[in-house]
Chains A and B, each alone.
Chain A
Amino acid sequence: MRHKTVIVFILLILGIFLPSVMGVQRFPKPEFESGYVEPETQFPVPRAEFLAWMDVAVLLLSLSLATFLVLKKRSRLGVFWLSLFSLAYFGFYRQGCVCSIGAIQNVTLALFSGSYTIPLTVLFFFLVPLVFTLLFGRTFCAAVCPFGAFQDLVAVKPMPMGAWLNAFLGMIPYLYLGLALLFAATATDFIICRYDPFVGIFRMNASFGMFLFAGVLLLSGIFIARPYCRFLCPYGVLLNWLSRFSWKHMNITPAECIQCRLCENACPYDAIDFPQTKKDPAGRRKQVNRLILLALLLPLLVLGGAWTGGLIHSTLSGVNSKVRLARLLQTASVSKDQPEPPEITAFRSSGIAQQQLMAEVATIEHDFLTGSRIFGGFIGLVFGMTLIGLVRTPYRTDYVPNRGTCFSCAKCMDYCPVIKS
């Protein structure tokens, strides 16, 4: 016994001088005499693959049902109950992952990265709602997305926001989408998931900041219906544009609009377009001048955006962990009295040459420069197009849902007195 302890101690001292590589068999496995049986290391299995396919099936079924309820049955009550189910299933049971909104980033990463292969189920989560929207409008938002369902529950006293406020806040999702694409394409981060406000509530576990964010969204959601969907959701941008060209779309009235104005205040999301029969209310000349001015301004906005994007590219690339490591390595030698950051410890022990890292980082920085310019130009384009959209006054005779912003939630239908004969 004493002998063994001494040997162990000697070995321990030797161990200090040996390279501390893990998994070194310093002490041989003992040969037990008492008939001791070594326990087996337990490896609990992850969630089975067929359950992931079940999620896809539930998505398909609930989307079909939502579409049927909105377009055929015109039943708000049905949509409501289905949205509760989606909140329970995709929200509280599946805990929000993987969702269609976040899948944007997986698709982008898979398109740009050579090493990442997207799971088929995630691809389905991304594509199925898009296809449905291109066919039937945003029925996904109406009753399948748990975020929408959650916010619909708290929208007690929605207030109209006005066209300009709606348009300007409506640019945030483009900004968010642009950033998410930039960070996903450079394999930097999935910011949509990182700043997902509701997943913390589904899991009843999040940082204080994220709970605060969710609380602010839900509280403001009492007066501003669906604030996340309208002014943040990056997937909503895609759905918005697909819905504009959809094959079918729900309508407020089942037959002919009789201009009774009963639905004027029906939509909590300001998604009803009012009739506009007077051509150019501001005057023909003034209108044409405005549009020409904006059309000239548009390329300037795009160029200015791209230029600004180029300026801020190094701030954006600072989010990337490799870029951060490289910058840490360059500044680390200055402050020697502080403990070494674990990033540097890990890098030193990894045995990768610093030149190799720097070369990699140079490529990433270059990608960020290109990406930031495209991102900036895109934001300029969005800004210009928003202005043009505000000035345009398309001719319209009836009260119709705005195909882009309408969530197909069927709330307006009950306001329409027209009965299909």
Chain B
Amino acid sequence: MDKQNRRQFIRTGIRWILFGGMALVAGDLIFRKGEPLFGKNRKSGPTVWQLDPAKCIQCGRCATNCVKTPSAVKCTHAYSMCGYCNLCSGYFKPETKTLDTGAEKQLCPVSAIKRTFVEDPFYEYTIDEALCIGCGKCVKGCGAFGNGSLQLQVRHHLCDNCNDCSIARNCPSGAFSRVQLTDPYLLKGFGKKNL
């Protein structure tokens, strides 16, 4: 075996070892739990980021830490939980006396909540997603004194689904996690079938 052939032989050998190594990594990842990733109970679909409102403390970082401006996290209104209060603690600043839509009375810094009269004494509250910055001020108010029907959620038509979510990294309560694409939303007190 001359020098050139020997080199070729070693090179080929290492190549097969490297192939084997890659196959091992792939095999370990695919068959790890004794069940192939592409099996029936597969959990290997693409993932998306989910905000768990039960853990969220409305610190306001969703508004400032998203790579998108404005943030892809927005207030989501679960109407079926709403009490349609006239004195909405998610809409009005505390100690507001006259309940009208004056900007100085609203908790929302960008007036993204629309208040419309339904029937005495009920009002409907709608989130204008184009305006909402995801600061969670209304969520805090609604959760403290109301039903908690206003909740922060990652809105998936806006989310870029970064591999390393910048909000998740900065979330103080660990409310963000990767979930399967099939179950992207999670609202408290809201039937799963509706999502």
Q: Residues of A at under 8 Å CB distance from B? A: 1, 4-5, 8-9, 12, 15-16, 20, 22-30, 32-34, 36, 38-41, 43-47, 49, 52, 95, 97-99, 102-103, 105-107, 110-111, 116-123, 127, 130-131, 134, 189-190, 193-194, 200, 203, 205-206, 242, 245-247, 321, 341-343, 345-347, 349-350
Contacts and interface: CB of A to CB of B under 8 A. Distances in A.
Contacts of A25: 81, 83, 147, 189
B57 A23 contact: no
B145 A26 contact: yes
Nearest to B169: A189
B105 interface: no
A118 B46 contact: no
B22 A30 contact: no
B106 interface: no
A1 B79 contact: no
Q: State the majority secondary structure of interface residues on B.
A: loop
A28 B83 contact: yes
Contact of B185 (A24, A43, A122): A43
B14 to A, nearest CB: 5
B28 A4 contact: no
Nearest to B84: A30
B174 A321 contact: yes
Given A30-B122, A32-B119, A242-B18, A111 B28 contact: yes
Q: Which of B32, B47, B79, B81 has the most CB atoms of chain A within a 10 A radius of its CB?
A: B47
Contact of B163 (A20, A36, A105): A105
Q: Which of B19, B53, B188 has the most CB atoms of chain A within a 10 A radius of its CB?
A: B19
Contact of A44 (B47, B121, B155, B164): B155
Q: Which of B61, B67, B161, B162 has the most CB atoms of chain A within a 10 A radius of its CB?
A: B162
A39 B125 CA distance: 10
Contact of B44 (A16, A117, A342, A349): A117
Q: Which of B67, B69, B85, B172 has the most CB atoms of chain A within a 10 A radius of its CB?
A: B172
Contacts of A5: 86-87, 121
A343 B172 contact: yes
A127 B22 contact: yes
B111 interface: no
A47 B37 CA distance: 21
Nearest to B59: A342
B192 to A, nearest CB: 11
Contact of B173 (A103, A190, A346): A346
Contacts of B55: 346, 350
Given A45-B156, A47-B161, 16 more contacts: A1-B120, A22-B53, A22-B148, A23-B54, A25-B83, A26-B83, A32-B118, A36-B122, A46-B157, A46-B181, A111-B25, A127-B22, A130-B22, A193-B162, A194-B169, A341-B172
B1 interface: no
Contacts of A30: 83-84, 122
Given A5-B86, A43-B185, A245-B11, A15 B162 contact: no
Interface in B142-171: 143-148, 151, 155-164, 166, 169
Nearest to B83: A27
Q: Which 9 A-B pairs have the closest CB atoms?
A: A27-B83, A346-B173, A190-B164, A193-B164, A44-B157, A23-B188, A46-B156, A342-B59, A22-B148
B26 interface: yes
Nearest to A11: B145
